[in-house]
Homo-oligomer: A and B are copies of this chain.
């Protein structure tokens, strides 16, 4: 699979008929399935097509190449997470910090662990592809929503809110990733929301002091 510039990564044609939309969806779903059951190395276009109940030819009708397919899967995931996050953040404006963070953490965890398998699959895609650009943009949009929200916090003001939010999100992504990738004891998984809240609030507390 040769590396391609990202301008070529868009789907080949938009499914205009209902039937096509179903097919495309089946393919995207199949991609995640194969990714999880076989791994990225074993993910071949034929295997994806088979699992989707289609033929390779059909797959290539909708995706110009394998990268575009993987990219589309990633994009769909990003959209979902971003949407959840943005809406939650918007709904939490003008609240105290603790309330805000509790809501955001909840939303983030729900988006990520609602379909753990999907989230797990994404890590593989991101590692393999040239997704730096896309991931950066996605993260930037997510952070923007949090920045906007935190600006309206009733109980705190931050200098350099950008940096603060970077740390917050990056710090959260660590434990979340560890849990999504699996193999953590149940105790840790259960405690995760509360722990993340401690993590965030603790950090914000420290930062506030230095303001």
Chain B nearest CB, measured from A203 CB (Å): 4
Instruction: Provide the residues of chain B in CB contact with A42, threshold 8 Å.
Output: 3
The B-contacting residues of A in range 181-211, CB under 8 angstroms, are 181, 183-184, 187-188, 191, 195, 198-199, 201-207, 210
Instruction: Provide the residues of chain B in CB contact with A169, threshold 8 Å.
Output: 174
Given known contacts A127-B123, A171-B175, is B203 in contact with A187 (CB within 8 Å)? no
Given known contacts A136-B183, A199-B203, A206-B198, is B178 in contact with A170 (CB within 8 Å)? yes
Which residue in chain B gives the minimum CB-CB distance to A38? Answer: B3
> Does more than half of chain A's interface fall in helix, strand or loop, or is it mixed?
helix
Which residue in chain B gives the minimum CB-CB distance to A201? Answer: B206
| Identical copies in the complex | 4
Assess whether A138 is interfacial by the CB under 8 Å rule: no
Assess whether A8 is interfacial by the CB under 8 Å rule: no
Instruction: Count residues of A near B (Cβ-Cβ below 8 Å).
Output: 43
Assess whether A132 is interfacial by the CB under 8 Å rule: yes
Chain B nearest CB, measured from A44 CB (Å): 13
Assess whether A128 is interfacial by the CB under 8 Å rule: yes
Instruction: Provide the residues of chain B in CB contact with A198, threshold 8 Å.
Output: 167, 203, 206-207, 210
Assess whether A147 is interfacial by the CB under 8 Å rule: no
